[in-house]
Structure 1
Amino acid sequence: MSAHPQADEAPAVPPRGKPRKAALAAWIGSALEYYDFFIYGSAAALVFPKVFFDPDDPASATLISLATFGVAYALRPVGALFLGHFGDRLGRRKIMVWTLVLMGLSTFLIGCLPTYAQAGTVAPVLLVLMRMLQGLSAAGEQASANAMTLEHAPEHRRGYYTSFTLNGTQAGQILATVVFIPVAALPDEQLYTWGWRIPFLLSVVVAVVGYIIRRTLEETPVFQEVSASRNVARMPLAELLRNYWADVLRVVAAALIATVSTIFSVWALTYATSDAVGFDKTDMLWVNGCANGVALLAIPLWARLSDRIGRKPVFLAGALGSSVMVFVYLWAISTGNYPLVFVTGLLFFGVVYSAANGIWPSFYGEMFPARIRLSGMAVGTQIGFAVAGFSVTFAAQIAGLHGDNWTGVAIFTAAFCVICAIAVATGRETYRVPTARLGLRSQGVPEPMPARQSTAL
């Protein structure tokens, strides 16, 4: 029985939201914020080992640089505790505005940092500090945007509308890749002196545009209902861990699917451009960019399918399919055959992984009631993402001294995909549960959904 009986009382007719505006704002905001987050990944793989670390020890410099990429993920669970709490106490919109400003500012400052040659060990310390601020920001971004779109969405299209948050994330990765392609093509002298700074300095534009967009958002009808009935949780985290600890653990395990993204976007890029394989940096950036372009189309299609047949079948197909495709993609890189790498990269990341990536925003959010939804998603996902972030560092060690043990890295990644699949398979199917009754312990058998309405984006 719920510790808060009033939380189990759902309104007979949920307030009508504004799904199109919410989805658009979430898409644009996530694209802008994750542009900031992902340019760091490209720089950590291609530039930072020679800019911020000891150039006399290139192997260690690469390993430490990839470790700084994971630092942001380590801070994300900490940020989730605070941002989840305030998001459930104060509302989704305020957190969405705050996270975007913090991300834009910290990324801009990275572009202003002195290099190792200019400041010695102070340079990497400052770099790690800025990366920590990026992690704190990202901790609340997706959870708040997902809660916003889910609670504005029509009953039968929650999967479709919440997928726009992840679609925006993919767009941000495309934007980061496109910006980095001409930068990576610069002569080394220009790239390692001033060229690498350009993508980071552009973040001042990101922060301003994102702030303007998100300031116009309205709070969700579901949260307004909770607030109006004075049913806002005083201590969302305490209630979450007391009544929904099993769902939090399930989200943590399922969120390990993000390992696929970090291995594909960062470690595979490092491996492919290393002496062991020898692909050109720009060529591999094109693989990443085009794969994300395919994902832009695939994510909403997979999400619409989940609105028809359920979240679990689609999510499981993506997780188990990724456990196979990671072997195919890394093997393709090892052959040195660029057309093969290009095709398998698009299929792996653009199509198969998108089946899981586009479903988790709705699947995770539907596990929790509105009063603790943001905390549930933020805490669960960010712990899982923290492990995924450091998977790049683990992969670099698994790959060995020469960095060419791709089979070991593939096994490592596939294992996380299987753990994710087990977590999803043992979860509840929620796609037919009315929004007002999501996560309520007294719901028993899901109520029949109201008649379908046509709501096109």
Structure 2
Amino acid sequence: MQETETTEGPSRRTILAASLVGTSIEWYDYYIFGTAAALVFGTLFYPQFSSAAGTIAAFGTFAVGFIARPLGAALFGHFGDRIGRKSMLVITLVITGGATFLIGLLPTYAAIGLGAPLLLIGLRLLQGLAVGGEWGGAVLIATEHADSQRRAFYGSFAQFGVPVGVLTSNLAFLLVSGMPDESFMAWGWRIPFLLSIVLIVVGILVRARLEDSRQFAELKNENQVSKLPLGQLVRREPRNLILGSLASIAPPATGYMVIVYMLTYGTQAVGFERSTLLTLILLSTLVWILTIVLAAVAADRYGAKNIYILGAMTAVVWPFPMFALVDTANAAAAGLAFFVAAIVQGIMSGSQGGLFTELFDVQFRYSGISIAYQMGGMIGGALTPIVATALYATYGSSHVLALYLMALCAVSLVTVLGVQSRSGRGRLPRPAPETAAE
């Protein structure tokens, strides 16, 4: 029988592993660019600028990836809703890994002049496009195989990829940051980028074993796949699309203020050693991962929206204490600042997959959750390091940085209150045979 056949395939352990491993690799590829932008790109690719201007230019190149992410979300979301989740996940992994590897081979401004930053920007655009389609597919490949009582927990496996990517990318740079500055700037920074070729092979092998969920297979069997998912999304769920996008600002705003901008602020303004900050950020990701697990379990028990609201509230409160602790120039105090920030992020990350899955119908769910997530990432992630650098150069105070971050998080807190779950009013992903189309 057709229905029996759709139940066969990879185990849930394989599904969750593919979600975790794939996103971890893609975010490793994505985050090493952020670390390099903070540490070396300003000098190597924009040497004609002043120190502050070079840093802003490097962060601007970093931001290009965020600008491309909503476009990638729409592109891969379209085909993910029409063709399937698995194929998009393999394609995005190949594109991200290939672009990252090529960045490691790029000549610098000293070698080819203006062509160097242009090539860097082009490869960053490819990274952004692919990552734009990654998160939504990875969340859905997990949550659409879960019952309603475990949806947030399954979705959290895709969320692990973010802190794991941060951890591994920082670890990669930490291993080479002890090199003499001349060697590090000449070739040591390339090593983390070149390592991605090995990771990409591992990711493809894991994801090749995936299959799409029963619910999406039934949608295809019943010829109910939308020809224009984005059009349906905008027509039927504009409220959730807009509010979901704004609600997604706080996690990346908090995260990129720590894992990207703090590498510049902490070394140049406060006086920390580069290796000290990398170590503290690396350790904070372990707290981040643990918090995601606990938040996901709580989200399945108390409601994903309620837990996300709790996380957004903590995100509004923490910026001023965080900068006050970092400004002490004490490593233990800075570590505490980063650890609590990791908890703030983890609360929202652990509940986000379950919450967003319930916002949109299966016919345009890939497009919906991808665009909402990536729009929030563009506003909260792309702009934060740039604006923070410009604000500090203008005012020379961390108070204005904290106020900016607090304002971004307040937007997420207000808007998440207005999102409407599809629970009880539409088709939700369930693995059981009874989930035939309505």
What interval of TM-score do these two structures reach, taking the shorter chain for normalisation? over 0.9
Q: Which residue, 92, 114, 117 being the options, matches 2:85?
A: 92
Q: Which residue, 362, 365, 370 being the options, matches 1:370?
A: 362
In structure 1, what is the equivalent of residue 436 of structure 2?
none
Q: How far 1:387 moved relative to its partner?
A: 1.3
In structure 1, what is the equivalent of residue 427 of structure 2?
437
Asked if 1:428 corresponds to 2:420, the answer is yes
Query: For the residues of structure 2 that align with 1:378 and 1:313, how far apart are their CA atoms?
Result: 21
Query: For the residues of structure 2 that align with 1:67 and 1:298, how far apart are their CA atoms?
Result: 31
CA contact (8 A) 2:74 2:371 kept: yes
Q: Structure 1 residues 232 and 359, CA, compared in 2 at 3 Å: closer, same or farther?
A: same
Q: Structure 1 residues 59 and 182, CA, compared in 2 at 3 Å: closer, same or farther?
A: same
Q: How far 1:308 moved relative to its partner?
A: 0.6
Query: For the residues of structure 2 that align with 1:111 and 1:269, how far apart are their CA atoms?
Result: 21
Query: For the residues of structure 2 that align with 1:246 and 1:423, how far apart are their CA atoms?
Result: 10
Query: For the residues of structure 2 that align with 1:228 and 1:15, how far apart are their CA atoms?
Result: 14
Residue identity in the other structure for 1:423: T
Q: How far 1:363 moved relative to its partner?
A: 0.7
| Corresponding residue SS for 2:402 | helix
Query: For the residues of structure 1 that align with 2:314 and 2:8, how far apart are their CA atoms?
Result: 37
In structure 2, what is the equivalent of residue 446 of structure 1?
none
Asked if 1:69 corresponds to 2:59, the answer is no
Asked if 1:58 corresponds to 2:51, the answer is yes
Residue identity in the other structure for 1:22: I
Query: For the residues of structure 2 that align with 1:428 and 1:387, how far apart are their CA atoms?
Result: 22
In structure 2, what is the equivalent of residue 245 of structure 1?
238
Q: How far 1:19 moved relative to its partner?
A: 3.2
CA contact (8 A) 2:45 2:109 kept: yes
In structure 2, what is the equivalent of residue 266 of structure 1?
260
In structure 2, what is the equivalent of residue 105 of structure 1?
98
Q: How far 1:55 moved relative to its partner?
A: 5.3
Query: For the residues of structure 1 that align with 2:394 and 2:126, how far apart are their CA atoms?
Result: 31
| Corresponding residue SS for 1:152 | coil
Residue range with higher mean Cα deviation, 174-183 or 391-400: 391-400
Gaps of 5+ in 2: 433-438
Query: For the residues of structure 2 that align with 1:210 and 1:253, how far apart are their CA atoms?
Result: 31
Q: How far 1:278 moved relative to its partner?
A: 0.7
Query: For the residues of structure 1 that align with 2:155 and 2:81, how far apart are their CA atoms?
Result: 18
Query: For the residues of structure 2 that align with 1:95 and 1:429, how far apart are their CA atoms?
Result: 26
In structure 1, what is the equivalent of residue 313 of structure 2?
320
In structure 2, what is the equivalent of residue 382 of structure 1?
374
Query: For the residues of structure 1 that align with 2:49 and 2:22, how far apart are their CA atoms?
Result: 40
Q: How far 1:401 moved relative to its partner?
A: 4.4
CA contact (8 A) 1:253 1:419 kept: yes
1:18-417 superposed matches below 5 A: 18-54=11-47, 57-257=50-250, 258-274=252-268, 276-349=269-342, 351-388=343-380, 389-401=382-394, 404-417=396-409
| RMSD, aligned CA | 2.1
Q: How far 1:289 moved relative to its partner?
A: 0.7
Residue identity in the other structure for 1:110: I
4+ residue runs of structure 1 moved beyond 4 angstroms? 14-18
CA contact (8 A) 2:299 2:350 kept: no
Residue range with higher mean Cα deviation, 393-402 or 16-25: 16-25
CA contact (8 A) 1:42 1:266 kept: yes
Query: For the residues of structure 2 that align with 1:219 and 1:33, how far apart are their CA atoms?
Result: 20
Query: For the residues of structure 2 that align with 1:227 and 1:376, how far apart are their CA atoms?
Result: 18
What does the per-residue CA deviation read over 1:155-199, in whole Å, with 9 as the maximum and x for residues that have no partner? 210010101101122111101011110212211100110100000
| Corresponding residue SS for 2:248 | helix
Query: For the residues of structure 2 that align with 1:78 and 1:35, how far apart are their CA atoms?
Result: 21
| Corresponding residue SS for 1:400 | helix
Alignment identity in percent? 34
CA contact (8 A) 1:252 1:382 kept: yes
What does the per-residue CA deviation read over 1:232-269, in whole Å, with 9 as the maximum and x for residues that have no partner? 01110111101111110011111111211111111122
Residue identity in the other structure for 1:200: F
Q: How far 1:422 moved relative to its partner?
A: 1.1
In structure 1, what is the equivalent of residue 410 of structure 2?
418
Q: How far 1:341 moved relative to its partner?
A: 0.7
What does the per-residue CA deviation read over 1:381-430, in whole Å, with 9 as the maximum and x for residues that have no partner? 2122111212211111111248x421111111111111111111122356
- Equivalent pairs counted in the alignment come to 425
Query: For the residues of structure 2 that align with 1:385 and 1:296, how far apart are their CA atoms?
Result: 19
CA contact (8 A) 1:33 1:206 kept: no
CA contact (8 A) 1:88 1:233 kept: yes
Q: How far 1:78 moved relative to its partner?
A: 1.2
Query: For the residues of structure 1 that align with 2:344 and 2:55, how far apart are their CA atoms?
Result: 29
Query: For the residues of structure 1 that align with 2:79 and 2:38, how far apart are their CA atoms?
Result: 35
Gaps of 5+ in 1: 1-10, 440-449, 451-457
CA contact (8 A) 2:156 2:292 kept: yes
Q: How far 1:433 moved relative to its partner?
A: 4.8
What does the per-residue CA deviation read over 1:98-156, in whole Å, with 9 as the maximum and x for residues that have no partner? 00000000000000000111111111111111111100010000000011111011221
Query: For the residues of structure 2 that align with 1:66 and 1:380, how far apart are their CA atoms?
Result: 23
CA contact (8 A) 2:56 2:389 kept: yes
Give the structure-2-normalised TM-score. 0.93
Query: For the residues of structure 1 that align with 2:297 and 2:23, how far apart are their CA atoms?
Result: 20
